[in-house]
Amino acid sequence: MPRANVREKIVEAALRLFHERGYNASGIQDIVSRAGVPKGSFYNHFASKEALGLEAITRDWDEDDLEVLREEGTPPLIRVRRHFELMAGRFFASGFSRGCLLGDFGAELANTNPAIRAKLSLTLHAWTDAVSEALREARAAGDLRADEDVELLARFLLDAWGGCVSRGRVTRDRSAIDDFFKMSFAVVIRTPVRAGDRTELVR
C-alpha cells in the first residue's frame, strides 16, 4: 500500500508539472519535490522519466471522462457536446492554463521521442474512435446526414478543440472555446435542442 501511495503521488505531481511547464522543463527532482517523496523512491516505481511520461498520458486520458459519450438515454449529439463541455469546464477552472496533454506532448516531443509519439498516436486514435462511435449513432438515428463521414468529422472536432485550447492558453480567456462550440455545433453539425438535454456550461 505505501508503494502504491508513493507511485500515485509521483504521477499526480508529474501531471501537474507537465501541464504547467511541459515535459522537458520538468526534471525528476522537480517531480519528486512536488510529490514530497525522496528522489530514490522514483526508481522504485519508474525505470525512467520517459516511463513516467507514458503513464502520465494514460492517466490524463483516463481523467477525460469518456463515459458521457456512451450514456444511455441521451441523444448522441448531446453526448458529444457534453464531452467537450466537461473538458471546457476543467480548462476554465484551471484559469486557462491546463490544456490538453496530448497536444502539449505532441508539440514538444513528437519529433524527438518515438515511444511517446507512438503512445500519443494510439491514444489520439482511441479518442477519435470514441467520438466517431457517438457520431455513428447520431447518423443511424437520423440526426446526421446518411452520407456523413463520421471519422472525418470526429478528427475535425478533436483537431479544432486542440487548436482552440492552445489559443485560449495564450489569450487567457474563453473566446476561443466559445468559438469552438458556436462553429462546431451550429455550423459543422447541428445539435437537436430538447428540453433538459443540454447543459449550460458553455454559452
Query: Domains of the chain (ranges plus CATH)?
Result: 2-48 (1.10.10.60), 64-188 (1.10.357.10)
Which pLDDT score, from 0 to 100, does residue 202 have? 41
User: CA 156 to CA 178: how far, in whole Å?
Assistant: 16
| Alpha carbon separation from 108 to 20, 59, 64 (Å, rounded) | 13, 19, 21
Q: What is the largest CA-CA distance in the chain?
A: 58
Exposed / middle / buried, residue 154 (Cβ in 10 Å: 0-12, 13-18, 19+): buried
What is the structure's pLDDT at 2?
43
Of 49, 47, 48, 38, whose CA–CA distance to 9 is shortest? Answer: 38
The C-alpha atoms of residue 44 and residue 28 are separated, in whole angstroms, by 13
CB 161 within 8 A of CB 84: yes
- What pLDDT shows up at residue 63? 59
> d(Cα 76, Cα 154) in Å, to the nearest integer?
13
Instruction: Kindly state the cell numbers that stand for 97.
Output: 492554463
In angstroms, rounded to a whole number, what is the distance separating the alpha carbons of residues 8 and 14?
A: 10
pLDDT of residue 88: 95
pLDDT for position 6? 95
- Block means of pLDDT (10 residues each) for the chain, length 203 residues? 76 95 97 96 96 94 78 94 94 92 95 98 95 96 92 97 96 97 89 48 38
Residue type, 161: W
